[in-house]
Amino acid sequence: MSADQSRERYAVIGNPVGHSKSPFIHGRFAAQTGEPIEYGPLLAPVDAFVPHVRAFIEAGGRGMNVTVPFKLDAHAFADTLSPRAAAAGAVNTLKFDASGVYGDNTDGFGLVRDIEVNLGVSLKGARILLLGAGGAARGVVLPMLERAPHTLTIVNRTAAKADALVDQFAQAARDAACHLSGGSARAIEAGAYDVIVNATAGSLDASLPECDDRAFGSGTLAYDMMYGAHPTVFMEHARKFGARAADGLGMLVEQAAESFYVWRGVRPDGAPVLAELRALLTAPSHA
């Protein structure tokens, strides 16, 4: 048996997928933990998610990360869902075993862990403002509520979508004794927030989501779920008010670490891999 055959197979499926940093991250996690896995990219045509996943399972594949545009397909494909994947309405992690296809979503956990562990900001008792109400926002609401923040305000350009999230998570908020509200940018409450998360797609085209400037203060952590070689417009904007700003690179690493844990039962250390990725991203050749 060759070395490759003795390794259990994992992949990230997407379209496009060539840019994905997941093979790099999981390669580092495998080296760090000694887990015998191999992990590569899997490109699928946008209308052929299911046959590509089935072929991967047939070939002995044990699990997958799922990226754009397949997170809803993966949610539909899974036989069983974790509560956080059901709440997110999307799946970024698939696990294949004798009991079938298990769908999970580690994105929100990755965000919370990056904020609390890597950035050192506790969400318990915090006032949190979430900008956006699309798929990315929906995926992080339950993991944030589980940290028992004091307040979670969700605002969105299309207010009705923020209202729908507030309705969906009303019970979870009551369970966490969290004051959950939202709507348009007018729903932003007075006083600086402890944490502001930009979950809009605005940073993709360098546009700033509507947000009351008074929400930012010197004690605010302004977190953009996007990342790149340079600070996003949202991060630059937040810094004008003295806020601390972070991008989503740590979330990327930590969601991967949690997927690794779901598959292998072993938790890799995200911090050194994040430091390495950050250095690669900001190297002159990327700038």
Neighbouring-strand partners of residue 14: 43
Task: Check binding of 14 to ligand ATR (CB under 6 A).
Answer: no
Stretch of 110-118, 157-165, 167-175, 188-196 lying at the interface with ligand ATR (CB under 6 A): 157-165
With contacts defined by CB under 6 A, how many residues of the chain interact with ligand ATR?
A: 15
C-alpha to C-alpha distance for 130 and 197, rounded to whole angstroms: 5
Can residue 108 be called a binding residue for ligand ATR (CB under 6 A)?
Answer: no
Write the binding mask 169 to 188 for ligand ATR: x where contact by CB under 6 A, - elsewhere: --------------------
Cα dihedral 133/102/277/248 (nearest 10): 10
CB of 209 to ligand ATR, least distance (A): 4
Question: Considering the rule CB under 6 A, would residue 164 count as an interface residue with ligand ATR?
Answer: no
Query: What pairing do the DSSP bridges indicate for beta strands 61-66 and 93-97?
Result: antiparallel
207 binding ligand ATR? (CB under 6 A): yes
Q: Quote the CA–CA distance of 125 and 122 in Å, as a whole number.
A: 8
- Please list, in sequence order, all residues whose beta carbon lies within 8 angstroms of the beta carbon of residue 40, skipping any fewer than 6 positions away: 11, 12, 23
Task: Judge whether 101 and 77 are in contact, CB under 8 Å.
Answer: yes
Q: Is 217 in the site for ligand ATR (CB under 6 A)?
A: no
- Give 10 or 20: the residue with its C-beta nearer to ligand ATR: 20
The rounded distance, in Å, linking the Cα atoms of 84 and 52 is: 25
Catalytic residue among 21, 71, 95, 240: 71
- Residue 156 near ligand ATR by CB under 6 A: yes
Comparing every residue's Cβ against ligand ATR, the nearest one is 134
| Options 80, 122, 158, 282; binder of ligand ATR; rule CB under 6 A | 158
Burial class of residue 102 in the structure, from the number of CB atoms within 10 Å of its CB (0-12 exposed, 13-18 middle, 19+ buried): buried
Residues 222/248, Cβ–Cβ less than 8 Å: no
Residue 133 sits in the site that holds ligand ATR (CB under 6 A) = yes
| Cα 188 from Cα 79, distance rounded (Å) | 39
Minimum CB separation of residue 183 from ligand ATR in Å reads 12
Q: How far is the CB of 124 from ligand ATR (least distance, A)?
A: 26
d(CA 135, CA 132) in angstroms, rounded, equals 9
Under 8 Å between Cβ of 214 and 147:
no
Quote the distance between the C-alpha of residue 156 and its chain's center.
18
Question: Which one of 79-87, 176-184, 200-208, 258-266 is the stretch in contact with ligand ATR (CB under 6 A)?
Answer: 200-208
Alpha-carbon distance values, 167 to 140, 201, 254, 272 (Å): 15, 22, 28, 39
Beta strand pairing call for 37-43 and 179-183: unpaired
Q: Is 63 in the site for ligand ATR (CB under 6 A)?
A: no
Closest contact distance (angstroms) between CB of 5 and ligand ATR is 37
Residue 71 annotated among the catalytic residues of the structure: yes
Using the contact rule CB under 6 A, the part of the chain among 1-9, 47-55, 135-143, 273-281 near ligand ATR is: 135-143
Query: 27, 40, 134, 217: which one contacts ligand ATR (CB under 6 A)?
Result: 134
**Shortest CB 207 distance to ligand ATR, Å:** 4
Q: Would you please indicate which residues are annotated as catalytic (active-site) residues? A: 71
Question: Which chain residues interact with ligand ATR by CB under 6 A?
Answer: 132-137, 156-158, 161, 200-202, 207, 209
